[in-house]
A = this chain, B = another copy of it.
Amino acid sequence: MSNAYDHNAAILVAVDCTILGFGDGKLKLLLFKRRVEPFKGQWSLIGSFVKPKEGVLEAATRVLKDYTGLQNVFLEELSYFGNPDRDPGGRVITLAHYALMRIGEQDEQLVEKYNAQWFEVDKLPDLVLDHRRIVEKALEKLRRKARYRPIGFELLPQKFTIPQLKSLYDAIHQKNLDRRNFRKKILSMDIIEKLDEKDKTGSKKGAFLYQFNREKYDALVARGVNFEL
């Protein structure tokens, strides 16, 4: 490799992915057993070095696919973590990302192969390096983002009930919203459609399933509508 800037010191650049999901009324994080020294065997986010001819987001997408089998999930830049001594293995700057996915959609064989496991975000084990801080920042960002973008839908199954949706927002914002007001506001946005089916796993009576209207949803996102709840 040769280029015009060779006199400058090169640094290792990695990407890491914070994978968030939602189940049983809780926000969850998918963790993996680290497979390289140092700290081999401890819980970790997934990551990889960025390859010389690969874009950064491309690298994050690759990592996500390699470890979960999933493409086309919500994946976005989070922040850099570039402290010179953050990694005793060497000077590595990591570009942290966060992904939102539906629990259960990931490839089970891969999950097993890599010893992956979902943890509730408020019951996390110790993580390697500064991954704990990365996760905290991802949660902050999720909370902020959920205020101006209906990001929650990325975390629910295609068909969901309104109580499920409310419980997701409760988990994200760590508060307990009013059922009636929540329903009113969501319905007034006109982005979800009622189906004829009911989901009976949550109650005897059963709750109607909804799905969201992708077009209206995208239009809303594009307009940058306020999504405070």
So how many copies of this chain end up in the complex? 2
Interface pick from A19-27, A75-83, A115-123: A75-83
What is the size category of the interface that chain A forms with chain B? 35 or more
Q: Say if the beta carbon of A222 comes within 8 Å of chain B.
A: no
> What does DSSP make chain A's interface, helix, strand, loop or mixed?
loop
CB <8 Å contact, A12 and B8: yes
CB <8 Å contact, B77 and A80: yes
Q: A4-B38, A10-B12 are in contact. Are A50 and B93 (CB under 8 A)?
A: yes
Q: What's the nearest-Cβ distance from chain B to residue A91, in Å?
A: 6
0/1 string, A77-101, CB within 8 A of B gives 1: 1011011100001111101000000
Residues 1-28 of A contacting B (Cβ, < 8 Å)? 1, 3-6, 8-13
CB <8 Å contact, A37 and B4: yes
- Sample of 22 A–B contacts (CB below 8 Å): A1-B91, A3-B90, A4-B36, A4-B37, A4-B38, A4-B90, A5-B12, A5-B49, A5-B89, A5-B90, A9-B51, A10-B10, A10-B11, A10-B13, A11-B11, A50-B93, A52-B84, A54-B84, A57-B82, A77-B79, A144-B148, A226-B228
Report A's interface with B, CB cutoff 8 A: 1, 3-6, 8-13, 36-38, 49-57, 77, 79-80, 82-84, 89-93, 95, 144, 148, 226, 228
